[in-house]
Structure 1
């Protein structure tokens, strides 16, 4: 995004929403075929896993949370084996 802004291809005024606003429903996602979605995943995956592990352990220690099934049949169901 930095390069796009410095090259004059993108500005903050053109930003419709942050990802969190779309996910939590406070702003809609793309509303027409001419709109574009840009997602910049920065950081390291290992940091995400470390933080998620800490959050999970804290929630378990407090008796919080709910187990949900994300993938029917497991995350690798349907892959050739």
Structure 2
């Protein structure tokens, strides 16, 4: 077990060996929750990748023209 300290700003540093082992880097996002026993749990959140044109077209497969217009974003 490694002991870490909180800064005045409420920041806690995740030890380097844990960051390296899990691939955490600057900007990694975490969900924080408290258990009934008072323990804090950090869970990494993976960023959802942006949809590309092919993903959007595949979602339209099998739709009729009126449905396609409903699902497509408006032109700017």
Normalised by the size of structure 1, how large is the TM-score?
0.25
Select the structure that is richer in helix.
Answer: 1
| Bigger share in strand | 2
Q: Which has the larger radius of gyration?
A: 2
